[in-house]
Structure 1
Amino acid sequence: MMRTPLRPLARILHARQEGLNPDTIEKENLKLRHEAIRERARGRAQFRLLILCASFVIAFGAIGARMGLMAATEPMEPRASAPGAEIIAQRADITDRNGRVLATNITTHALYAHPKVMVDPKGTAVKLAEIFPELDPAALQRRFTDGRSFVWIRKVLSPEQMQKVHEIGDPGLLFGPREMRLYPNGMLAAHILGGSSFGAEGVHSAEVIGVAGIEKAMDARLRDPAQGGKPLTLSIDLTLQSTIEEVLYAGMSMLNAKGAAAILMDARTGEILALASLPTFDPNDRPTPIVDKTAEPGDSPLFNRAVQGVYELGSTFKIFATAQAMELGLVGPETMVDANAPMQWGRHKIKEFEGKNYGPLLSVSDVIAKSSNVGTAHIALMIGPLRQQAFLKSLGFFEPTPVELIEAPGARPLIPKKWPEIVTITTSYGHGMSASPLHLAAAYAAIANGGVAIKPTLLKREGPTTGVRVMSEKTAFDSVAMLRRVVTEGTASLGDVPGYEVAGKTGTADKPKKTGGYYDDKVVNTFASVFPASNPQYVLIVTLDEPQDDTLSETRRTAGWTAVPVASEIIRRVAPLMGLRPKLEPVAVDAVTAASN
C-alpha cells in the first residue's frame, strides 16, 4: 500500500518560496490521514454489526419456527429412557381369535431411594418393612447407610402400597413410572401365554420381555415398533379354553391323576382352539422353577404337558399302522389278519390286555375296535421297518412340533436308535417310541381332514391352509370309520356323545421306570378323538398322568375308564359352543318313547 508522506518536499519548497509555514502542511496531511483511518474503521464496524444482526435474526427465527411446530403438533408423552440406550416399554397386546384380551399392559410405579437425602433412614426402613413384609428392615437399613446414592426397593407397587409409602413422608423415597404386563384372566391359558418379566431397567421406565410360552417365542413381534402396537391374535377361543380347563381339572381331581393335558385343534387348518396343561399357575405371579434334580419335570406347574410332555402314547398309534397298510394296498378294512395271542417273536412275547385272545383271526377293522396288539403287530410286519419310519416321519413324529411356544423345540420325540422288526412291532401299538400329545393331535388331524399333514399353530390363520398329502382320502375315510367303531362297539364306549358322532382311539401305556422296565400300577392314559365322524372337523386329545378310577370295588386304570369320560364331557360341552348342531338319530317307528304332559 502506498503511504503519502506528511512533509512532501515539493510542497515544502513551494511554501518557503511563498513565505508560508511548512509545519501547516504536515498538520493538514496528518488530519487527512486520521480521517481516512476513521472511515475505514467505521466501515468495518458497520459490517460486523450487520453480521451480528443477521445472526440474531436467523437464530431467533429458527427458535420461533421450532416453537411454532411444537405448538402445532399433538402432545405426546416422551418415551422414557435410561443412560446409554433407549428403553422400549410398549408391548403389543395378545388377544384370542375373537379379540378378547389375554395379555395387556398397565401403568404402575417402582419404588427407589436416594439414601443421601433421607431424613430418617432407620425409621424409614422399619416402616417400609411393615408395608412390604418380605423386606428385612436390618438389611434395608444397612443399604441406606453404607454410602450408596441409589437403592432399588420394589420394582412394582400397587396403588394402596404407593399411598402408604407416600404417608411415610421421607424425601429420599421416590417413585418411577413404568409399564408392566397384566394377564386379566389369571390362570386361564397360562401355559400358552407363559409370562413376562423386566429386562433393561431405568428409573422412569422398564423393558418388558417374555420369559416363557408365546410371550418369549413371539417376543420380537410383540416389541416391534413397526407393528404400531397391533395386537397379536391367537387361534385359541377363550370360551373353549375356559370350558376345557374346567372339565379337565374336575376329571383330574376325580380320577386322582398327577397331571393332565388337553388339546382341541381344527383339523383343516391346524389352528389350536384350546390347549391346557394341569397343574397350572398364574402368569401374573409366575412361580420359580424347581431346582431339585431328583424331581421329575412334570412336578413343576410350569411344565407344559401338552407340548413338553413326551410319553409313550400306547394304542392310539395303532390307527397309523392300519392306515399305512391300507394306503400301501396290503390290507382293507375287512381283510382278516392273524390275531392269535400270545405271539412269539424271537425271545419276545406279544400279549393282549389281561391275557385275552381275540384270534385266531380278526378283520383289520376289528383289530382297531378291540385294540388287538397281536393283530396290529402282524399288520406292522407287513409294512416293514423302513416304510413304517418314513410314514411316521411324514406325520411329524421325528421332529419337535413347530408350534409358536418357546418350549416346543426342546420337546423332541424319543426315537429308538435302532429299528429292528421288534421295534416295528412295539411302535405299532405305541411302545418304545415317545411323543407329545401335540404330536398326536397333528397326526390325527391328518386322518380327520382327508389325509393332509398340517402344521399346528397358535396363531389365527387367514385363508386356506396347504400341506403335504400323506394318505388318500379313501384311506382317511376308512380310518375314521374304524375309529368310530371304537366308540360304538369297542374300548371307548363311554366316549359316545349323542348327536356328535365321536370317533377315537384309547391308549393305556405303562409308565417306564428310570432304572428300566415299567411300573405295574402307573400309567399314562390317552384318548385321541375326532368329531363329528361323518364330516370330521375337530381333533381332541386328552391325556391323564397316573389316573385311577376307585368308584367301584376294583381300581380301574385303563383309558376307557379315565381319559374317555373326560373327553366325552369336554365334547358335550364345547361342541355347541363351536356351532356344531347335533345330528339326531332317526327313531324307529315301533320304538317306545316317553312323553309328558
Structure 2
Amino acid sequence: MIDFRRNLNFLRRRGASETSAVGSLRPRRSEAPRNKARFIIATGLFCSIYGVIGARLLMWGAMADPNDAYRAMANAGPVTRPDIVDRNGEVLATDIKTASLFAEPRRILDADEATEALLTVLPDLNPKVLHDRLSSKAGFAWLKRELTPRQQQEILALGIPGIGFRTEKRRFYPGGPTAAHIVGFTNVDNQGIAGMEKYVDDSGFRALQSSGFASNDSLEPVKLSIDLRVQHIVRDELVLAMQKYRAVAIGALVLDVNTGEVIAMASMPDFDPNSPGDALKKENLNRFSAGTFEMGSTFKIFTTAMALDFGKVNINSMVDTRPFFVAGHTIKEFHNKGASLSVPDIFKYSSNVGSAREADMVGLENHQEFLTRLGVLSRLKTELPEVAMPTQPRTWKKINSMTIAFGHGVSTTPLNTAVAAAAVINGGFLIPPTFLPRTQAQADEVKHRVLQEKTSLDMRTIFRINGEEGSGRAANVPGYHVGGKTGTAEKVINGHYAKDRRFNAYVGAFPIEKPRYIVMSIVDDPQIEPGKPNAQAGWNAAPLVGNIIRRAATFLNVKPDFGDAGKQLLVSY
C-alpha cells in the first residue's frame, strides 16, 4: 500500500510537471496582439505596393502616345458627306475618294534622300518646307493632300520608309460653276464653308461628323429646289449677256411665286467649286443675295402697290406729275409726259414725280411700314448663308420718302426685291424664299398676307400694260404674257451719283394673268450696245429675262397661249 501510494504520488507529480512543461510552450497572451499588428502591416504594405503598380498601369493605358493618335487619324475612315441633288435628283455635289500623303519623321532614315525622291513626283512642293517636315522630331506631318492615283502609285514605287497614305474624300461638283453660288463648296477637310454645303453642316451634319455617325455611305441625299436644267439656261444666258453688254457683273433668278422656291439663281463673275481658290475674290460675290444695291425704278412696283393698297388712288386715278420742291430739292422727270398721268401710265412711263406724289399721299410712316411689311428692309431668312442686310436712312425724312419712292435712298438685295414683287402679284402673300423643295401645303403654312387681293389683281393689270406697251416690251415672249418693270439706277461712286454709271434690273412675271414665276435680272454697269440709243434696262435687263423665259418655260411646265389665232392655227395644222 505504501509503495502503491508512493508510486501514485510520483505519477501525479510527473503529470503536473509535464503539464507545466506543455504550458510553457504556449504563447503568452501579451504576444498575440503584437503578431496580429505585424500581419496587418504586412498586408497593408502588400496592397499599397500593388495598388501603386495598378494605378500606374491604368494611367499609362489612359495616356495615349501622340504618335498613336496621329496614326489613328491617318488610318481612320474618310469623312462622308451626303450628296446634294437638284429637285429632279440630278447630282450637284458628291464625294470621291482620294489619297493624301503623310510622313512619320521619326521613321525617316535619310531626310535628304527622301526629300529628293518625293520632289521627283511632286515638284510643286516647297523643298525647304518638305525637308523641314521630314527631318523634324514630330510623330506625324502632312505632306500633300488630294493626290492623283498616278502620284500615289509613283510614290509607292519609291519605297520610302516612314511615308504613308490616308484615304480621304473630297467634294466633286459635276456641273462645275453652273450653280456655284447656291451649292457652295468645302475646305480640304471636306467641311462645308459656303452655300448649301455650309447649311448642311450647320443643320446637324457637323454634329454627326464629330460623333462618328457620318462615316458611312448610307446618308440620304440633300435635295434642293433648284432645277439643274433651268439653272444651266440661266447661267448660259448670263455668259452671253455679259459679253454682249460688256457689263461688270450680271445675275438672274427664277422664283416660284406660289411656294417661294428658288428654281434657279446665278451671279457672274463666278467660280468653279472644284477649285474654289477664286471664290473669295471681291468680283465673284453672289450679287443676287449677298450684294445690296439701289434698285432704281423697280421700287415703283412697291410704291404703286402701296398707293393702291392704302386706298389713296385706284387704277383709274390721275396724279399730278408737275415738278415740285422738297427740302430744297426739285423732284422732276427725265422725260416729261404731261402735267398729270394715270396710275398705269406713271408705271409705264416710269414717272419719278408721279411715284413721289403717290408716296406723299400715303405718308412717311406708312411708307416705311409698308416696305418693312414687304421685307425689302430686312435680312431675308432662308437656308443660304450668304444673304446681306439691306440699308436704309437712320431717320426717315420727307425727302427720303420721295426718293425711295422711285428707288434711290434704300439699298437692298435683288433677292429681297424679287420676293417682295412675288407678294405683289401672287394674290398678296409674302412667302419666305427657300432653296429646299416646298409643297403648296407647306407654303400655305408659312405665308402671310401683306396686300389686299384686289391690289394684287390691279398690279397684274399694270404689269401686263408695261410688258406690252412700256419698257418691258423686250421681255414679252410671244405666248407667255410676260409683265414687269424695268429699273435703271445711277451708281454711287465716291459718295456721288454718276450719270454715266448705272445698275439695271428687270422684274418680270409670267404668265401674268395667273402668275407662276418671277424672273428677275440685274446688269451692273452695262455699256451701250451698238445700234441702241442708250444702256438703260429696257435694252439689256429686259431682253435677258425674255431669253431665259423663251428657253426655260418648257422645263417650268408653262405652255404658250397664242389666243384664238393660235388655236385656229393648230386646228388647221
TM bin (shorter chain): 0.7 to 0.9
Q: How does 1:452-531 map to 2 (within 5 A)?
A: 452-464=429-441, 465-466=443-444, 467-514=447-494, 516-531=495-510
Structure 1 runs not aligned, ≥5 long: 1-12, 18-22, 24-79, 200-207, 292-296
Within the alignment, does 1:386 sit opposite 2:370 as a pair?
A: no
Give the alignment's Cα RMSD to 1 decimal: 3.1
- Once the two structures are superposed, residues 529-568 of structure 1 have per-residue CA deviations (whole angstroms, 9 ceiling, x without a partner) of 110011101011100111123322x662100001111111
- On the 8 A contact 1:548/1:555 being kept in 2, the answer is no
**Structure-2 change in CA distance of 1:545 and 1:366 (3 Å):** same
Match of 2:301 in 1: 319
Q: How does 1:293-372 map to 2 (within 5 A)?
A: 297=282, 299=283, 301=284, 303-340=285-322, 342-353=323-334, 356-372=335-351
Partners of 2:551 and 2:158 in 1: CA distance: 53
Q: How does 1:138-537 map to 2 (within 5 A)?
A: 138-199=128-189, 208-220=190-202, 221-223=204-206, 225=208, 229-287=219-277, 297=282, 299=283, 301=284, 303-340=285-322, 342-353=323-334, 356-408=335-387, 411-464=388-441, 465-466=443-444, 467-514=447-494, 516-537=495-516
Partners of 2:77 and 2:372 in 1: CA distance: 44
Cα distance, 1:115 vs. partner? Answer: 2.8
Partners of 2:321 and 2:519 in 1: CA distance: 29
Structure 2 runs not aligned, ≥5 long: 1-7, 13-17, 19-69
Match of 2:518 in 1: 539
The share of aligned pairs that are identical, in percent, is 39
Amino acid in structure 2 at the alignment position of 1:476:
S
Partners of 2:121 and 2:542 in 1: CA distance: 50
**Structure-2 change in CA distance of 1:274 and 1:166 (3 Å):** same
- On the 8 A contact 1:218/1:404 being kept in 2, the answer is no
- On the 8 A contact 2:100/2:145 being kept in 1, the answer is yes
Q: Secondary structure at the match of 1:167?
A: helix
Partners of 1:245 and 1:406 in 2: CA distance: 21
Q: Secondary structure at the match of 2:238?
A: helix
Partners of 2:440 and 2:77 in 1: CA distance: 37
- On the 8 A contact 1:128/1:137 being kept in 2, the answer is no
Amino acid in structure 2 at the alignment position of 1:393:
T
- On the 8 A contact 1:81/1:87 being kept in 2, the answer is no
- On the 8 A contact 1:442/1:455 being kept in 2, the answer is yes
Partners of 1:460 and 1:338 in 2: CA distance: 46
User: Where is the helix percentage greater, Structure 1 or Structure 2?
Assistant: 2
TM-score (norm 1): 0.79
Within the alignment, does 1:583 sit opposite 2:564 as a pair?
A: no
Cα distance, 1:586 vs. partner? Answer: 2.9
Partners of 1:146 and 1:534 in 2: CA distance: 73
**Structure-2 change in CA distance of 1:81 and 1:380 (3 Å):** farther
- On the 8 A contact 1:124/1:168 being kept in 2, the answer is no
TM-score (norm 2): 0.82
Partners of 1:105 and 1:380 in 2: CA distance: 53
Match of 1:96 in 2: 86
Q: Secondary structure at the match of 1:577?
A: coil
**Structure-2 change in CA distance of 1:184 and 1:110 (3 Å):** same
- On the 8 A contact 2:78/2:167 being kept in 1, the answer is no
Amino acid in structure 2 at the alignment position of 1:422:
I
Partners of 2:114 and 2:534 in 1: CA distance: 61
**Structure-2 change in CA distance of 1:397 and 1:222 (3 Å):** same
Match of 2:528 in 1: 549
Within the alignment, does 1:569 sit opposite 2:547 as a pair?
A: yes
Q: Secondary structure at the match of 2:553?
A: helix
Q: Secondary structure at the match of 1:542?
A: strand
Partners of 2:392 and 2:549 in 1: CA distance: 32
